[in-house]
Amino acid sequence: MLDQLSPVAPARVRVVLLPVGQIKRARFLSFVARLQPENVVQLGDISPDGRPHRNMFSPLAFPTGMIVYDLTTFYPPPSHVALSPFELYREPLVIVAIADGAELDRKPYKTNVRRSLNGNGPPKPEHNLRELYQDLEEVRDRYPKGLVHQLLLFDYVHSTSAGALPEGIVPVPPPADCRRTTLKTIMCDISSLLLAEMTTLAKSLQALNTIESPSQSQLNRQGNGTAWQISQAEMASRRNSQYSLPGQNSRSESPAGSGDRSHVRMSMPVFRSTDSNSSTPSARPSTPSNGTQTDLPTTFDQIVASNGVESKSPQKTIPSRLANTEPVRDTSRDRVSVQGFGPGSVSERSRNIGKGRIGIVIGSLYLQAGRWVDALNQLAEAGTISKYNLDHLWHAKALDYILVSMLMLAWTGMDFHVPQICYAVAEKGSQSNSGEPKGPPPSRHVSLQNLTALLPEMLDRILNLYARAANNTGESLPQFPFSESAIRFAKLLADIHLAGGKLDDDVLQLVVVGTPFKKRPNMVPPRLNIRPTRTEIIATLFRAFPTSSSPDYVSLVDRTIILSGIASVLGLLGYYRKKAMVMRELVSVLIPGLVQARIKGAAEMGVHPAAGLAALNSVNGNGASALDLGEGDVENGVDSFLGLLGQTYGVVSSAGNPGNVDYQDDSNDAAIARIVENATVRSFGGRNLKLDVLRSCINLAEALPDFHGVLRFTADLLRTAGSGVAPGPRSDDASPSMTREEQVRLATNISRTLAAAKTLGVKDLAAEYWDEFLVRGVELEALPIPRTPIPHTRSELPGATTVATARDPFIYNPFLRTPDNAAVDHLLVAGEGAVFRVTLQNPYEFDVEIESIKLESEGAEFESATQKTVIGPYRTQILTVSGTPKSPGQLKITGCIIRIRGCRERRFPIFEEPWSPQSAVKIKTIGVASIFKPKDRPVSTDSKTLMNAPVMVAPKAVSLGLNVIDSQPIVIVKSSTLSQSAIMVLEGERRTFSITLQNLSPDTPVDLVLFSFKDSTQAPLQSALSNRDASPAELYEYELIFARKQALRWVQKDGEKPFIAPGATASFEVELLGKPGLTNATVQIDYASLGISHEKIQDKFHTRQVSLPLTITVNASIELARMDVLPLTGNVPRTLWSKTETEDEDEKITPDDYCLLLLDLRNAWPSTLSVHLDIGDGGIIEEDVLPGKTSRVMFPVPRMFLDNPSAAIPALDPSRARQFVVSTGRVSADSERASREAFWYREELLKILHGSWSTQNAPIRKGDIELRGMRLSQRMIEAIKIDDISIELFIDGSQGSSKPQVFTDTFSQLKVRISNRMAEPIQPLLRIQPSIRSQSHNASLDLTKKLVWNGILQQTLPEIKGKASVEVGIGMTAHCRGEFEISASIEEARLHDPPKQEDGKEGTGRPRANTRTMMDAVLGLKERRIWHSREPCLVVVEDEESSDDDDD
């Protein structure tokens, strides 16, 4: 359908396309779409009619002309048809019925099918063709004013053997069988019939005396349902004329009028008469009855008042298609006997007026027939007659048609003259010279320039003539055609203005066929230099605005068309606010009319007004004929119109484009774009004005009633009133700018609309939800600890699979760590359900009912459960939604698919962060220009950096990333051998218990089981280990207890491979060690199903944990109360050594090799305990200790030699062993050296001692005695240690004697044996110190005249190699008797410097840090050492004579 308000609308032939027979709406619309491209037919392609009396409009006279068809699917309202023949183009001249050939083989759609007596009848196709022909006859009867009635049978190929089709039925092959010219040929045949019938119509018009002008009262009568009268003979003669012989005159008779059916808009389904007997009989009488006559004025004053229109003679009556409904009287009875003479007489003037009017109508027929040159000549001549006879109304119409003729000639590219009648001041001359100028026409370019310059004044003059005609009685042009003409003229001027003030080919294409401009004009600049200016166009346009609101003045439909046309032109010119004002006026006009039509239609149907139009749409009754909306008209017309109105006022609409209800893009980018766009639209305009506009839209939708519109605009009203922000905990106020009562009323309105729609059976009713920030967060609820998968890497596996006792506890155990929440919270197991916490917000003061909500995901297959809830007013609410991943892989929760009651189901992104729009710093556009602005012009490279600055920071949509792993087993602790998971042990006791695990998974085995343990002693040990004030010896003790005395360990059997089959059980043994401070412990079991060997694990694997908490009570057993080490002197009693039960009873115990060890053992257990001590050299001591008693155990232990007793104390923790930690306290070198010696000698002592205990009564308990509580003092160290240098003194010949005897005045040899037990050599300095025994210190050193030496007592000895010994002898002579003690000491003469080891690869690799050297630096600088003999050599000097005497 072309634009009904086009400037060239009078040049078109209106065609009504009607569905007949069995045809679906979609098929009908597809057939209409096939015909639309062929709406322009060139006269040169039309075959002329061969009958000489029907070639008045022969196409041969102007082959380049064209007939432009306006293909419509509805019949115009009676008020429009009543304007014919003043505006003949309003009346449909061609009625084309469209049928579907594919339905011919179906069952006949009419129920009264007549069959033969034997049950046989014509085949279905033939019968259906007859039915279609009867439908065509009904169409002819219903629309008798049409000149051509044809039936196009689409998708039908007629066989030549089947005979000829009934007259008027034209087959149209399917598209596959259609040639390029098939439809064009059909349109040419229809055009040929039309041109022939136009001749008949023109001749009947020429036979008239005059034609009456249209009046408002006439339109009112037509609008009230009074149809024009037409006789049966008129219908029969017109139908016969299309198929009669050339010699038959079809319009020789004057028809009489009979009742015509109402002409209403045709919509699906097709309306058929229910009474078949009331159809027009097939007989076509050739002699019609006499026509009615119209009452004419009977006085001279009435004749003058009516422009002197003379009454018609009885011999020439008006054809019924042009006759009024009032009865026509015989004019001879009422003729006034007034004689007029000369050209200025009344009768002459009346004849001239009639001649001019008939000529103008004939000219309009030439215009529609495509013969524009003839139309231009005819109209110029007839218009001149009307001009000089002051027939202003028809004069203006002639100018209008002349303008259309020139535009059509210009469109075809032909040259033309601008008639002199078009100019305000015509050239002087006779009336005949005022027509078409003589001579060749100027060039087309010159003519277009002349026409462009003439247009504003010419159009204004036409409108003034229309207005001036109102001064004559009965000649006032009704408001609707006047307003329509003003809109057509304004639209023509607007098109020229948009083209830059030029009437060029682009403008002509837009005006005639509706081809838009290739480039949209920029309406932002003022365009003041372009003529005609927008101000002039607006002045012309607003003359079309109805001056009265009375429905008798302008009907509702006409007022709607007028206001719509004004709004359309305002939109072309860029006056969006003026356009919105007109559209708002249009809404205010529609609402009362709709309500009235609703009530009227409901009354006629006998239903409640609430169901008025909803019930009428399916019946197509006459009660709602003025507002007969077909299926889809509301969505495609009214909805777009109201959406555009709201967009102009800055309403925050739900759709990206006005009226686009199919806008379904709910992606993150689309949602963010909508939020930013809504914030931009919300920032301008008056909010109260926007709300008022939306309230009007709601009222209009309720008046239709349009349930979709009610929901949509109610949602838009809530959206516009809302703040459009995502509030934070303490951020913006998100409450809407609307009272709570109105919000509740709107929510109730939605519920009421849904209930009414459900009652009437309306489906798919949904609006767009009004808050884009509905979903404020989605979180994965933490899984139960036993079902939480914990990620691990392949490198973590080997350290966890070894036995706990052999595992280095200082190496980080990843299975004992607390799982990373960030990693665990994003893990799911395929096939196992998970729970998500969805945070929803409702910033409005009414409840929001959510009918369904489910999660939307990407990646791995995921099945979400559906929940429903009600969000309370103005709050944030958390809802749990469960879901199950079906396959492993990466899973991303991107949003929620939610259906709110009354709204469509859509996807909502997740907006966690608060957001509010930030106003732009640089404002480029304001008002509606920010919405309707054209695309940005191209910018240079230098300016791109300035224009790329973001105007508004958009909100960020987030997603929840999850990792779905393969299905995992579920293991529980079925049982254990412990009663209530509690146990009591004694210190040092080891107990074993078993744990039974069960695999609950029906199809997944467990092939990886890892044990980890936690107990109450680990935390204090960790705290002590982190204490930097602890000495190295204390740290070593802590590390030893932590590493080698773990409270729990898994006892793995030989060859045992942990495996639990699906649904099976397995038992594992765990050993418990009683130790002080142990009160509770946890057995943690990590398990998984890998499916492959541990070596083939590529990247990551996941385990689950199950734990068994234990309550442990540790009681004291045997405690080491005290210890001491004593040196042995003199002879050792044999009874002492016999307690050790050594294997070698004959071994001699000497004080130099052994020392005495004392242990006080206390029994803290309330029963006797047996103590068993093992000594390293095979000695065994057993002792029974009574309850609460302390028993002392003494036994000799060998003294010990250490190569380096000052060596640094080692660290069992590898991380601490690789670094040198400076102590926070200052320790002297002597203290550090003493501490190290005590550490190392204690370690050597503990190596040869091991103690255990056992109970004597049942139950038998066994355990180890903790001996590491021993602490060695310096005295004990001196007793137990063996010096590095051993010094032995003896008199030659008396070695081994405890008291060697020497005689006075005899030479003796004192020998000193020096043994170097160290590995490094020394430079010794020997000092011999003789003294008198049992004397004071001063007296003992006075050896004058008592002992003499052959040599010196202090001498330097040669270097003694490591592990070597030397003997040094010195002569000695005693001069008196007595007992002497000779001791010796060795002092280092100089320090030994070890040779530096030269590395042959110097310069390669980084230098190593000498940690040992730094640790030994704590001992201070190395000094010369001194060693003393352990015991002095006792020498007894006697006189030789006395000795001899004694011998005697």
Q: How many CA atoms lie within 13 A of 686 on its CB side?
A: 5
992-1016 burial, b at 16+ Cβ within 10 Å, e below that, comes to ebebebebebeebbbbbbbbbbbbe
Structural tokens at position 944: 């791109």
What is the percent of the chain with per-residue pLDDT over 90, rounded to a whole number?
30
Tens digits of residue pLDDT in 420-462: 999 887 543 334 444 455 567 778 888 888 888 899 999 999 9
- Name which of 376-390, 586-600, 800-814 the model is least confident about: 800-814
Distance CA 744, CA 723 (A): 17
The predicted structure's pLDDT at residue 320: 41
Residue 1379 confidence (pLDDT) above 50 = yes
pLDDT in the model for residue 656: 47
Sheet with strand 834-842: strands edge to edge = 775-780, 834-842, 875-885, 862-864
pLDDT in tens, 1035-1050: 888 888 888 888 899 8
The pLDDT assigned to 1418 comes to 67
Quick check: 216 pLDDT over 50? Answer: yes
Under a CB-based contact definition with an 8 Å cutoff, are residues 643 and 709 in contact? no
Between β-strands 12-19 and 66-72, what pairing exists: parallel, antiparallel or unpaired?
A: parallel
- C-alpha span between 973 and 976 (Å, rounded): 8
Mean pLDDT on 227-250: 43
For the question of whether the overall pTM of this predicted structure is more than 0.75, the answer is: no
Amino acid identity at 1074: G
* Residue 1257 clears pLDDT 50, i.e. is over it: yes
How much is the pLDDT for 378?
92
pLDDT confidence of residue 616: 38
Res 380: pLDDT: 93
Cis, bond preceding 705 (omega within 30 deg of 0): yes
Q: pLDDT band for position 1411 (50/70/90)?
A: low
DSSP assignments along 1128-1194, one per residue: --SPPPHHHHHTT--S-TTPPP-TTTEEEEEEEEEE-SSS-EEEEEEETTS-EEEEEE-TT-EEEEE
Q: For 154-168, how does the pLDDT look when each residue is reduced to its tens digit (9 = 90+)? A: 988 877 766 788 888
Percentages (nearest 5) of helix, strand, coil residues in the chain: 35, 20, 45
pLDDT at 59 over 80: yes
What integer is the mean pLDDT of 89-101?
Answer: 92
Average pLDDT value for residue range 799-827: 56
Pairing of strands 1190-1198, 1426-1428: unpaired
846-860, 864-878, 1009-1023, 1408-1422, range with the lowest pLDDT: 1408-1422
pLDDT of residue 1141: 55
Across 323-327, 1311-1315, 1408-1412, 1420-1424, least confident range: 323-327
Cα–Cα distance measured from residue 832 to residue 1104, given in angstroms and rounded to the nearest whole number = 14
| Position 815 confidence tier, pLDDT thresholds 50, 70, 90 | low
Structure-token pair, residue 673:
């774009």
pLDDT recorded at residue 220:
60
- Backbone angles phi and psi of 532, in degrees to 5: -70, 145
- Banded model confidence at residue 226, pLDDT cuts 50, 70, 90: very low
- Asked, as a colleague might, if the bond just before 791 is cis with ω within 30 of 0, I would say no
Lowest mean pLDDT segment, chosen from 890-894, 981-985, 1319-1323, 1397-1401? 1397-1401
- C-alpha closest to that of 309 among 393, 238, 248: 393
Whats the size of the chain, residue-wise? Answer: 1448
Q: What is the DSSP letter of 809?
A: T
Q: How far is CA 1350 from the centre of its chain?
A: 110
Residue 299 binned pLDDT confidence (cut-offs 50, 70, 90): very low
Q: Which pLDDT score, from 0 to 100, does residue 927 have?
A: 58
pLDDT tens across 600-642, in order?
766 666 655 554 334 434 333 333 333 444 444 444 567 777 7
User: pLDDT at position 756, please?
Assistant: 87
d(CA 590, CA 551): 12
CB 144 within 8 A of CB 235: yes
Per cent of the chain over pLDDT 70 is 76
Helix (H, G, I), strand (E, B) or coil at 1117: coil
Distance CA 357, CA 361 (A): 6
* DSSP string for 382-401: HHHHHHHTT-HHHHHHHHHH
Angle value at C-alpha 240, between 238 and 243, nearest 5 degrees: 120
d(CA 31, CA 25): 10
Task: Give residue 263's pLDDT band: very low, low, confident or very high (50, 70, 90).
Answer: very low
Look at residue 399 in the predicted model and tell me its pLDDT.
94
Place of tokens 């032909």: 414
| Predicted confidence (pLDDT) at residue 995 exceeds the cutoff of 60 | yes
End-to-end alpha carbon distance in the chain: 168
pLDDT band at 253 (very low <50, low <70, confident <90, very high): very low
The better pLDDT of the pair 1088, 284 is held by 1088
* β-pair partners for 259: none
Q: Return the pLDDT at 177.
A: 85
* 548/1361: higher pLDDT: 1361
- Which of 830-839, 950-959, 1009-1018, 1391-1400 has the weakest average pLDDT? 1391-1400
What's the mean per-residue pLDDT of the chain? Answer: 78
- Structure tokens belonging to residue 135: 């439908």
Read off the pLDDT of each residue in 123-152 and give the average, rounded to a whole number.
Answer: 88
* Residue 53, pLDDT above cutoff 50: yes
Tokens for 860? 């791995």
pLDDT band at 19 (very low <50, low <70, confident <90, very high): very high
Check pLDDT > 80 for residue 278. no
- Closest residue by Cα to residue 269 from 22, 614, 606: 22
Residue range 683-733, pLDDT digits in tens: 877 888 888 888 888 888 888 778 888 888 899 999 999 888 888 877 667
Q: Is the pLDDT of residue 376 over 60?
A: yes
Return the H-helix or E-strand segment holding 1302. Answer: strand 1301-1303
What is the structure's pLDDT at 1123? 92
Mean pLDDT (whole number) for 82-89? 89
Q: What is the distance between the alpha carbons of residues 33 and 230, in angstroms, rounded to a whole number?
A: 34
The number of angstroms, rounded, from the C-alpha of 1341 to the middle of its chain's C-alpha atoms is 106
Can you give 853-884 as a three-state secondary structure string?
EEEEEEECCEEECCEEEEECCCEEEEEEEEEE
Q: What is the pLDDT of residue 362?
A: 94
pLDDT, tens digit, for every residue of 963-974? 898 888 999 999
What's 944's DSSP letter? H
- Report residue 589's pLDDT band, with 50, 70 and 90 as the boundaries: confident
Name the token pair of 1286.
């051993």
Residue 812 pLDDT: 53
Lowest-pLDDT range of 28-32, 54-58, 257-261, 514-518: 257-261
- Whether the pLDDT of residue 123 is over 50: the answer is yes
Distance separating alpha carbons of residues 1216 and 1221, to the nearest angstrom: 8
DSSP, res 988:
T
Neighbours of 955 (CB within 10 A): 24
